[in-house]
Each structure stands twice: as structure tokens, then as C-alpha cells.
Amino acid sequence: MGTTPTEVLAFPNIRAIVRDNGTAEVVVAGNSRVVPAGDSVQDLRNNALALVVGEAQTLQRPVRVQIEDPEGHGELIVHPDNKIESVSYEPRPARRRAEAPETTPETIAPTVIDTVPVAAPEPSAAPAQPTAAAAVKRQPWPPNPVETEPATETPEPAHSEAQPSAAAEEPQTTATVTEAPLTRRSLKETSFLVSAPVLEPATQGWRGALTRLGFRMDPSAEELSQREDIRTVSQHWPGPRTIAVVNRKGGANKTPTVVMLSAILARYSGAATVAWDNNESQGTLGWRTEKGSHARSVLDLIDSSTELLSPATNAAEIAKFVHHQTADKFDVLRSDENEEGDHEVTAEEVDIAHQVLTRYYRLVVMDSGNTARAANWRRMIDHTNQLVVPVTAIEDRAEAARLTLQTLESRGGHDAELARNAVVIVSESTDAKRSMTGDALKRAKDEAQRIADGFEPFVRAVVRIPYDPAMVNGPIRYEALQPATQRAWLAAAAAVAAGF
């Protein structure tokens, strides 16, 4: 039995946009994916539809897609088996401008009047309606392409030939009239606001000490660098942003990375920030952060998604499902911690939770499990704006990080773009102890540098984090870290925010 168009869910919201500049994108639930380039508009349509077919295959059901291109707009139903149905298609009205020859002002008006009837051939687009009804045609976008009609401007040569002398004389008259204004400058070309911003005096080190004694000192290069990182993480961007923290190997520092990025972005930007434990079953984010007055998890949020997405719901209602971090100013959405439960989060549930969270938060930082093939892991990547790959200075963690990036790059499209623009965060081994000798500590630092150097040619940024005992066990808090560790994590958060 087939599926009628009315039975196909409109969730997630999918749009396929093809532009006349040779670019295209597919937007799934507000997340844009770049469509591979083609030699023609039809190639772009086909490539866009291929991405939508992949979406339908992931969901294992037909999906609706709103289409828009230079020739028209409408709606399609796309099935997992590559079948595509046209629900509607409306061609754009033909818009042509007659190119009148240079002539006197008296002849311009008749030229414009002659071109008005050009819009009359528009009813020729009517055959698009029967074609759109052909439900099983493979490429019904557009059902009936709008044809350009170059042969409707034949009256114009008569005007060109009618007054050749006027056309020849006009440029001289025009030049005489327009010479005078060229001696003036437009007020748009100037400004009285030419002063450079005032550099605030130093606040750190001996320079800061002298400033406090009354001797104004400029900040050092290190302080200027820190100020720039703070400025970067303090910005607000239009629309929500999603960060995914991934590594296929356990113990790679994923959860501490999620906590520190969330804390720094929330503290400096003031933006509503949530850390989401997107483990397919049970993760550890809840163990490394403060617990609220309830025990709700992502499954409870999904069950209440209809209420949370209602326009009548107050923004404070989200507090029933998340655990607020009182010192670091972000919230945590825990994974299911029911020891007897066996529910695995699906791709569609990730869509629902992400839609809820991006209504209430500007920044979503996602922890992840270790299975890159899991449905919830792959769907997380679809929603991701910036990829972060943490790794400790141990060979197998580094190799797992490389394989994670390689897997994403091999998938192409949005996944490959994320891999190329990833931020790798290399932490000195969390297995280190306070009692390590000087030689052992040096070897740990050298290994961290070797791994960082190995990743640098393949990603957008690599940041090193020093060993800090406050990161090893128990709840993680920004203020408990050593100053050098805080500065390193600020640099890491700035590298991530620069990708937004």
C-alpha cells in the first residue's frame, strides 16, 4: 500500500534551496547542509534531492521538502526508496526587461509600453499542473521548467532606426549636465568618527601593578591575547549554535571537555547554554556535574516535547528537565540513568530534543558515546555547527580521534566539512599523578606536543591543555582549576567560537 501525501509528516522541516549563482543548500530542522556543486541548475536540484533521500532513509519513512529555485517553488514528497512525488509547483512569473537603445527621453516611454505585453505568455506555465500530478516521476523538480522566450522584443529595432541622430546627440547633452555634480563628494563617503578605540590600561602582571599605583601602562602581548579570546567567546550569534564533542574511544576526555566549554561560553557570553549527554544509553556527564532537585533525563524531556514546544509554555518550564550549574551558569541535560532501562535514543528522538533545546538555549554542547554508527550519534552530527575532538596524550586515544575524523571525512558533504574545520583539544594525560618525576612530566608534555603537531595539518585548530588534578575525579568546576589551565581552556573555547 502506498502513502498519500496527507499522511506524510511535516517533521522535520526540510527545505531545498537552489540559487541562480550556482550554490544550493538543504536545511533540515534549521541546520543547513551545503549541496555539492554541479554543472547546471538541474545538477544542483539532483544533488539536493540526493541529500533529502538520505534523510528519508535515515528516518525510514517519507519526508516532505519545500523546494525553491530560480524558476519556481513548491513541495515534494521524498521516499526512502528514491521515489519522489510532486505535491505542488508554482513557476515564478517571467520577468524580462527590454534593453532600449540609447535615445532621447521622448522615445524611452514608448519602449517601456511595448514590453508590457511580454508578461502575457505566463499562462504557458499551466502544463505544470498535470505534470505535478504524476506522482512517481523521478525528477519532477521542476515539473515543467519555465522556458525563456527571446522572440518577443521584435518591435524595438523600429525605435532604434527611427531616430538615429537623436541617439548620437544625446550622450553629449548628458555629459554636459552630469559634469557639475562630480565636483561634490557624497556625505556617505565621509565620517567624523575617525578616532581609534581607547586601549584600556594593563590589569595583569607588573604592568597591572604599576597601573594601580598610578602609572598608566599598556597591556602586554599575553594580556591582549587573553582579551581577544574573551571578546571571541563573549559574542552572540544569530540563531542557536550546536557543538558536538566526539571521540570513538572512552577515556578521551570528552565529558570534561563538554563541561569546560559550556562553563566558559556561559560565563563570558551570558548566553543560555546547555550541556546535553547524547549517549545512546547511559553517559557520565551527570556524574561530573551538579545534580538538581529532580532525576529527570532526556527521555522525560522528549516525552514532554509537545508541551515544551507549545507557544503558551513559559521559558522557565525547561528547569523541570535540566540540572543547573550554580557556579558555572550552564544547565545539564542528563542521559537516562535508569539501571534497569534498555532504551536507546533514536535519530528522531535526537531531532525532537534538539528542537526543544534550541528553543530555550542559544548554545547546545553535546557529549557523545563511542559508537559512530549509532543512529543518535549520526543524527547529532547532522545538527552540529562545530566539531570538537578531545584527546589525551596517549597513543590509542589519539588513534581513535584520527579514525573518528577519518570516518566523518569519508562520508563527504556536511560531515567532511565538520572534520576539516574541527578543533582538536589535546590534554596531558589524566593518568598523570602529582608524584610524577620531572623526567616523567617532561615526557608527558613532549607526547602531548607530538600528538598536537600530528593533528595540526588536518584540522582548523589544535589547542593543548596542561594536566590539572581538579579535572581527574568528581564534579568539575572552572574556579577549581589552576590559572594556567583556565587560560588554556579559554583559548580552546575561543578556537571553538571562532568557527561559528
Could you read off the pLDDT tens digit of each residue along the chain, which spans 500 residues?
A: 556 767 888 888 899 999 888 899 999 887 888 898 888 888 888 999 999 998 889 888 999 999 999 888 999 999 999 899 888 888 887 654 444 444 444 444 444 434 344 444 444 444 444 343 334 445 567 765 544 445 444 445 444 444 444 444 444 544 444 555 556 677 777 777 766 778 899 999 889 998 999 888 999 999 999 999 999 999 999 999 999 999 999 989 999 999 999 999 999 999 999 999 999 878 899 999 999 999 999 999 999 999 999 999 999 999 999 999 999 999 999 999 876 667 889 999 999 999 999 999 999 999 999 988 999 999 999 999 999 999 999 999 999 999 999 999 999 999 999 999 999 999 987 554 455 667 777 888 899 999 999 999 999 999 999 999 999 889 999 999 999 999 999 999 999 999 99
Q: Is domain 227-497 given the CATH code 3.30.470.20 in the classification?
A: no
Task: Give CA–CA dist 428/496, Å, rounded.
Answer: 19
pLDDT computed for residue 342 by the predictor:
77
Report cis status (omega within 30 of 0) of the bond before 127.
no
Task: Give CA–CA dist 380/396, Å, rounded.
Answer: 24
436 burial via Cβ count (<10 Å: 0-12, 13-18, 19+)? middle
Which three cell numbers mark 138?
Answer: 523521478
Phi, psi of 297 (to 5 degrees): -135, -170
CB 263 within 8 A of CB 297: no
Q: Where are the domains of the chain?
A: 5-146, 227-497
